[in-house]
């Protein structure tokens, strides 16, 4: 376990500045060199409802929000009522005593009332309540207030010095009041050697796209993927990227395919509902053998579903994108920074094999924040454009865009290259692009071109890394997951082993195509296996069985819109090993 592991949460109504306060606290952690992971539970309301931001701060890298809450900042009565009972013994809750009542409180939790009216001299600007509360919280955890003052200066620079001075003054008053009236936590923030940068998951994927050489990005805003568009639009001019916001996702995917056909690396992002509109065009990219990257940030479904909640429910949707058979690559990043690193890898593969590639993420990763060392960010990853022709054809031989090859890969010419005239269409075709349907749908040509395309799958599968295997091979139970659950499963494995239960982990990132022999070799190490995933039907369990014949001994599923916490998985593994159930669905104790 990390030497320092502390969780701060802030709850209140939309419009009370929880997001801005969370960003400020994230930057404070980064300046202290501390690692963090944030998870925000919120409703799809402009006003009203409840928002709850959980921030786990650690001396070691973390990629989930953990099991406990040490300190809550309650900005209204609703936050007090919902979260007082969920604070760990020895924790504390800071609240505005003007309008919030803790009732009988809890003996093992320190109550920290602050009167905003008194400290703000009866200010009517309730938006500054979060500044006062955050100042008090920083005193309780022993953080450097001067760092917060620097961040407030940057945050309110455009509003003038008077606004900066007012916010800095309120932060200082909250800090001083806490010093006089409350007991600080025994373990304080510790400044580590190196300052860290802060990034959210959507921005990290956008950064990965920029590093990969993306020159065209297109999107229609759809939660929780919109942050990719925001980062791209903000940085497009400096990076030489053309960014377009379209009227719908059908326009988006067609523009992305068009740009990719013209030769530039192109990308888009959406969620399940928008991805549904893109699927026919994704099949077009498969037919025309054009490399594109599409990001699907999953949220609870079906239909509009849970716009602000997380789930792993779109796996079968992505696997079945469009009609018919065609090569495609599907990958599920395992952490925020893994999303950044994965996109250049995927672009190299889709360029090499001339097919669409899909990143399948989820709200927990995409809208979560983490810290990272900027020195670890690779802005110049290896770039492999595959068999891309940019030189004129002066041999006099006809150019066959879909030439039959042993690998299934046909050299791709940029449109307009002299001597490389060819037809590109959504109908199936022969080697030079001529439509098969023009010959009464020639069955022999259809078979040849279909087999040519599908031979790429053998080459892709051969390059797919095996799933990660972590822990002793003789473990009593193996926990199997995919995508964003890697960290929380890994933590559960450590907790189980600390309690004397032999456990290990197998985790899948590269999902499709699957190298059956390699995967089965890894799975053969399992004595007893449990698959963990955030959906109702066990989509990955069914997919894995279909691809490999492997059937897990048990399953854990969560579909209430909230991600797994480590103790959910620990409890489920114990229930399974005790023979009580083969399907464990945890109850979400924390009301969000």
Phi, psi for 266 (deg, rounded to 5): -135, 145
Which CATH number fits the domain that encloses residue 129?
Answer: 3.40.920.10
CA-to-CA distance for 250 and 275, rounded, in angstroms? 9
Q: Decide the pairing of beta strands 5-12 and 51-58.
A: antiparallel
Q: How many residues does the chain have?
A: 592
Instruction: Tell me how far the alpha carbon of residue 506 is from its chain's centroid.
Output: 19
* 161, 12: one domain: yes
Select from 63, 139, 58 the least CA-distant residue to 94.
139
* Run of H or E including 481: strand 477-482
Tell me if 112 is assigned to some domain: yes
* 343, 488: one domain: no
Tell me if 274 is assigned to some domain: yes
79 within 8 A of 52, measured Cβ to Cβ: yes
Tell me if 359 is assigned to some domain: yes
DSSP state of 445: H
* 113, 203: one domain: no
DSSP 409-421: ---EEPTT-TT--
* 394, 256: one domain: no
**DSSP bridge pairs for 112:** 94
Mean confidence (pLDDT) of the chain = 94
Which CATH number fits the domain that encloses residue 514?
Answer: 3.40.50.920
* 454, 499: one domain: no
Q: How many H helices and E strands in the chain?
A: 18, 23
Question: What percent of the chain clears pLDDT 70, i.e. is strictly above it?
Answer: 98
Joined tokens for residue 302 = 């079906």
Per-residue pLDDT, averaged over 439-444, amounts to 84
* 267, 394: one domain: no
Domains: count for the chain: 4
Of residues 396 and 456, the one with the higher pLDDT is: 456
* 359, 220: one domain: yes
Cβ within 8 Å of residue 560, ≥6 positions away: 588
pLDDT for residue 592 is more than 50? no
pLDDT at site 578: 97
Tell me if 332 is assigned to some domain: yes
pLDDT at site 233: 98
CA-to-CA distance for 95 and 130, rounded, in angstroms? 10
* 268, 392: one domain: no
Cβ within 8 Å of residue 441, ≥6 positions away: none
* Vertex 236 angle, CA 232 and 242, to 5°: 95
CA-to-CA distance for 88 and 589, rounded, in angstroms? 13
Under the banding of pLDDT at 50, 70 and 90, the label for residue 72 is very high
pLDDT at site 43: 80
User: What are the helix (H) ranges across 306-374?
Assistant: 315-319, 336-353, 363-366
Which CATH number fits the domain that encloses residue 356?
Answer: 3.40.50.970
The answer to which of 42-46, 155-159, 410-414 has the lowest mean pLDDT is: 42-46
* 222, 282: one domain: yes
Per-residue pLDDT, averaged over 168-190, amounts to 93
Under the banding of pLDDT at 50, 70 and 90, the label for residue 48 is confident
Tell me if 189 is assigned to some domain: no
Q: Which residue, 130, 154, 181, sits at the end of a domain?
A: 181
Q: Which residue, 446, 463, 480, sits at the end of a domain?
A: 463
CA-to-CA distance for 233 and 245, rounded, in angstroms? 9
Per-residue pLDDT, averaged over 551-575, amounts to 97
CA-to-CA distance for 252 and 303, rounded, in angstroms? 20
* 453, 521: one domain: no
Q: Which residue, 463, 498, 527, sits at the end of a domain?
A: 463
Tell me if 381 is assigned to some domain: no
* 483, 454: one domain: no
* 223, 364: one domain: yes
Tell me if 187 is assigned to some domain: no
CA-to-CA distance for 371 and 113, rounded, in angstroms? 31
Per-residue pLDDT, averaged over 469-483, amounts to 96
Per-residue pLDDT, averaged over 513-517, amounts to 96
What are 83-138's pLDDT values in tens digits?
A: 999 999 999 999 999 999 999 889 999 999 999 999 988 776 777 899 999 999 99
Which domain, by its residues, includes 26? 5-181
Tell me if 186 is assigned to some domain: no
């Amino acid at each position: 376990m990390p030497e320092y592991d502390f969780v701060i949460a802030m709850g209140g109504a939309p419009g009370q500045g929880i997001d801005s306060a969370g960003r400020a606290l994230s930057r404070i952690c980064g300046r202290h060199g501390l690692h963090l992971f944030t998870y925000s539970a919120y409703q799809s309301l402009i006003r009203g409802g409840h928002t709850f931001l959980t921030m786990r701060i650690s001396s070691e890298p973390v990629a989930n929000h953990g099991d406990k809450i040490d300190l809550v900042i309650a900005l209204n009565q609703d936050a007090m009522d919902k979260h007082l009972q969920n604070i760990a013994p020895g924790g504390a809750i800071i609240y505005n005593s003007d309008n919030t009542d803790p009732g009988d409180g809890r003996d093992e939790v320190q109550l920290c009332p602050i009167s905003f009216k008194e400290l703000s001299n009866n200010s009517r600007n309730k938006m500054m309540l979060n500044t006062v509360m955050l100042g008090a919280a920083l005193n309780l955890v022993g953080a450097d207030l001067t760092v917060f003052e620097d961040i407030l200066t940057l945050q309110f620079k455009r509003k003038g010095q008077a606004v900066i001075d007012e916010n800095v003054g309120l932060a200082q008053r909250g800090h001083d009041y806490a010093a006089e009236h409350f007991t600080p936590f025994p373990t304080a923030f510790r400044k580590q050697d190196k300052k860290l940068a802060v990034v959210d998951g959507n921005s990290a994927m956008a950064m990965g796209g920029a590093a990969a050489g993306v020159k065209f990005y297109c999107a229609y805003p759809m939660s929780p993927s919109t942050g990719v568009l925001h980062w791209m639009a903000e940085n497009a001019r400096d990076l030489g990227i053309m960014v377009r916001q379209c009227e719908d996702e059908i326009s988006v995917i067609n523009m992305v395919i068009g740009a990719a056909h013209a030769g530039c690396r192109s990308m888009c992002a959406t969620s399940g509902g928008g991805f549904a509109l893109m699927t026919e065009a994704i099949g077009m990219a498969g037919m025309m053998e054009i490399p594109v990257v599409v990001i699907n940030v999953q949220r609870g479904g079906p239909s509009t579903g849970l716009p602000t909640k997380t789930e792993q429910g779109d796996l079968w949707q992505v696997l079945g994108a469009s009609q018919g058979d065609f090569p495609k690559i599907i990958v599920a990043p395992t952490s925020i920074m893994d999303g950044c690193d994965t996109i250049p890898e995927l672009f190299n593969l889709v360029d090499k094999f001339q097919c669409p590639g899909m990143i399948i993420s989820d709200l927990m990763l995409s809208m979560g924040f983490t810290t990272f060392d900027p020195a670890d960010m690779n802005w110049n990853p290896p770039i492999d454009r595959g068999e891309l022709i940019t030189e004129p054809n002066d041999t006099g031989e006809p150019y066959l865009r879909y030439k039959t090859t042993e690998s299934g890969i046909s050299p791709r010419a940029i449109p307009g290259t002299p001597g490389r005239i060819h037809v590109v269409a959504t109908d199936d075709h022969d080697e030079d692009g001529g439509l098969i349907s023009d010959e009464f749908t020639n069955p022999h040509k259809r078979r040849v071109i279909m087999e040519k395309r599908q031979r790429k799958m053998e080459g892709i599968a051969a390059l797919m890394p095996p799933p990660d295997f972590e822990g002793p091979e003789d473990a009593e139970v193996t926990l199997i997951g995919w995508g964003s659950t890697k960290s929380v499963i890994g933590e559960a494995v450590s907790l189980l082993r600390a309690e004397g239960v032999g456990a290990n982990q197998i985790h899948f990132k590269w999902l499709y195509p699957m190298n059956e022999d390699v995967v089965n070799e890894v799975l053969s190490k399992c004595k007893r296996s449990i698959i963990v995933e955030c959906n109702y039907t066990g989509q990955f369990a069914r997919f894995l069985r279909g691809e490999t014949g492997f059937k897990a001994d048990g399953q854990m599923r969560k579909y209430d819109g909230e991600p797994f916490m480590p103790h959910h998985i620990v409890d489920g593994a114990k229930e399974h090993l005790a023979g009580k159930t083969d399907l464990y669905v945890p109850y979400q104790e924390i009301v969000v």
